[in-house]
Structure 1
Amino acid sequence: MTLAHDVAGSGPTVVLLHSTACDRRMWDPQLPILADAGFRVVRSDMRGYGDSPVPDGPYNNAQDVVELLDLLGAEEFALVGSSGGGRVALEIAARWPYRVTGLALLCTALAGHEPSAELRAFGEREDALLEAGDVSEATDLNVDTLLGPHADQATREKVREMQRRAFDVQLAAVEEFPQLRPEFDRADITAATLLISGDHDLPDFRQIALRLSRELADARHLELDWAGHLPSLERPEAVNPLLLDFLRGTHAGSGRDLRS
């Protein structure tokens, strides 16, 4: 299955991987900015999100993304991942390190992370609401938990729409198939990495960023004192320059002329 996706612009390829509270529409504030700056921007919906149907068998998100990029002829690419999309980006960068030129991770999740009491309580509350059939309340829980104080009402409604769409699509599935978890070693990641965390986020995501900043060979960590879990939506005017500066740096010496 080919993931639902959009492609905009031309130049070095940048892949945008969405949070599992959202879908590819979360990157609406970044897509035109990156394309206008001289990048070919690819964004896709993971299975069961946005316009991609739920899995029809065992699957692997990282493999799905790489197969899409193969179809698009992208031999090398930078990855920008938010939350669960960051976890997918880390897997791609470890399994196919020779293809990844840069890795920007916004409030990334991490395979094997032991959740804090706060994160466990959030997950248990979400599960209880969904089991009770209260999808609206579960959606509101995600919006209220994940967005920081700078998110305006339009942003809150956009996240609510994307999260509700994901719940509706996934809850309607007749059968649930497992995601395959191939082994990989994060020590194999060679790409320069930008780690972003938010002071208004759950504590786990700052802890993950700090851990990765120590583990990865070429990583720096930037804390945003205003941000919640979805800074690229909360204040795109602050995040977009950070992404542009980083992505231009990953292609320094590539021979490509990126627009200033």
Structure 2
Amino acid sequence: MTLAHDVTGSGPAVLLLHSTVCDRRMWDPQVPALADAGYRVVRCDSPGFGDTPVPAGRFDEAGTVAELLDDLGIDLVSVVGASGGGRLAIEFASRWPDRVTALALLCTALRGHEASPELEAFDEREETLLEAGDIAGAVDLNVDLWVGPEADDATRDRVRAMQRHAFEVQIAADNVPYEPVRVEPDPARITAPVLLVSGAHDLPDFRDIAIHLAGQLPRARHMHLDWAGHLPSLERPEEINSLLIDFLP
């Protein structure tokens, strides 16, 4: 299966991997800015998000990302990942370190992280709402938690639409025997420069993850933004665009 994707611009390649609250449309504010700055921008939808269906059977998402880049003739790429997309980016950069020229992780998740009580309570509440068939309630729960105070109403509505679509796709595929293949990442294999971004209005988990990774990755820099929630690229897109353009090779 090929991940739904689009490509914009020409120049050095940049791959955008979305948060699991969103889909590839979350990068709408970044694509034109990066393309205008001289990059070839690739963004894709993960399984069960946007235009990528839930696949049947075993599925290696990081491996499929690598195949997508192969199909596009891209050998070297900078990777930008948000939240769950950051977790995928870490796996990709760990498995194919020679392909990654830079790694920007925005409020990244990390496989193996022990959830805080706040994150556990959110997960339990979301599961309760979905089991009760209250998709609208689960969507509102996500928007209220993950979208920071800098976002306007139009941005909140955009996140609401992406999250609702993801729930609908995933619930419709409840009987699909999807088995994601996950390879435990080894951060020591990541050789590219890494930018780690966390937000003061986010759950503490994501600052803790950024601090942890900054101590493990030899070429990492951590920026903690006092204005940001969990989705800074949507909350203050122009500021994040400038940050990314300054960082990317």
- Shorter-chain TM-score: what band? over 0.9
**Counterpart Cα distance in 2 of 1:183 and 1:170:** 24
**Counterpart Cα distance in 2 of 1:176 and 1:30:** 34
Measured against aligned partners, the alpha-carbon deviations of 1:218-257 in whole angstroms (never above 9, x if no partner) come to: 000001101100000011011110000001xxx3xxxxxx
SS in 1 for 2:59: coil
Measured against aligned partners, the alpha-carbon deviations of 1:75-106 in whole angstroms (never above 9, x if no partner) come to: 00000000000000000110000000000000
Partner of 1:215: 216
Deviation for aligned residue 1:210: 0.4
SS in 2 for 1:58: strand
**Counterpart Cα distance in 2 of 1:45 and 1:186:** 24
Structure 1: 4+ residue segments shifted above 2 A: none
Partner of 1:56: 56
> Is 1:243 matched with 2:244?
yes
**Counterpart Cα distance in 1 of 2:84 and 2:3:** 16
**Match runs of 1:93-132 below 5 Å:** 93-132=93-132
167-176 vs 26-35, greater mean Cα deviation? 167-176
Partner of 1:198: 199
Partner of 1:255: none
Partner of 2:176: 175
Is the Cα contact below 8 Å between 2:54 and 2:176 reproduced in 1?
A: no
Q: Name the count of aligned residue pairs.
A: 248
Is the Cα contact below 8 Å between 2:13 and 2:41 reproduced in 1?
A: yes
Partner of 2:234: 233
Letter in 2 for 1:122: F
Let me know the Cα RMSD of the aligned residues. 0.7
**Counterpart Cα distance in 1 of 2:42 and 2:185:** 24
Measured against aligned partners, the alpha-carbon deviations of 1:171-215 in whole angstroms (never above 9, x if no partner) come to: 001324121122431110001000000000011000000000000
Partner of 1:254: none
Partner of 2:4: 4
Letter in 2 for 1:117: P
**Match runs of 1:26-41 below 5 Å:** 26-41=26-41
**Counterpart Cα distance in 2 of 1:94 and 1:101:** 12
**Match runs of 1:38-49 below 5 Å:** 38-49=38-49
Deviation for aligned residue 1:56: 1.6
Is the Cα contact below 8 Å between 2:201 and 2:226 reproduced in 1?
A: yes
SS in 2 for 1:178: strand
**Counterpart Cα distance in 2 of 1:204 and 1:60:** 26
Letter in 2 for 1:245: D
**Counterpart Cα distance in 1 of 2:69 and 2:98:** 14
Letter in 1 for 2:207: R
Deviation for aligned residue 1:131: 0.6
131-140 vs 61-70, greater mean Cα deviation? 61-70
Deviation for aligned residue 1:64: 1.5
Label 1:161 to 1:38 Cα distance change in 2 as closer, same or farther (>3 A). same
SS in 2 for 1:2: coil
Partner of 2:148: 148
Deviation for aligned residue 1:159: 0.1
Structure 1 spans left out of the alignment, 5+ residues: 252-260
Partner of 2:21: 21
Letter in 2 for 1:4: A
**Counterpart Cα distance in 2 of 1:178 and 1:94:** 21
Is the Cα contact below 8 Å between 2:155 and 2:234 reproduced in 1?
A: yes
Structure 2 spans left out of the alignment, 5+ residues: none
Q: Percent same amino acid at aligned positions?
A: 65
**Counterpart Cα distance in 2 of 1:67 and 1:94:** 16
**Counterpart Cα distance in 2 of 1:169 and 1:113:** 27
Letter in 1 for 2:213: L
Letter in 2 for 1:96: W
**Counterpart Cα distance in 2 of 1:52 and 1:91:** 20
**Counterpart Cα distance in 1 of 2:20 and 2:66:** 18
Normalised by the length of structure 2, the TM-score is: 0.98
Letter in 2 for 1:21: V
5-14 vs 60-69, greater mean Cα deviation? 60-69
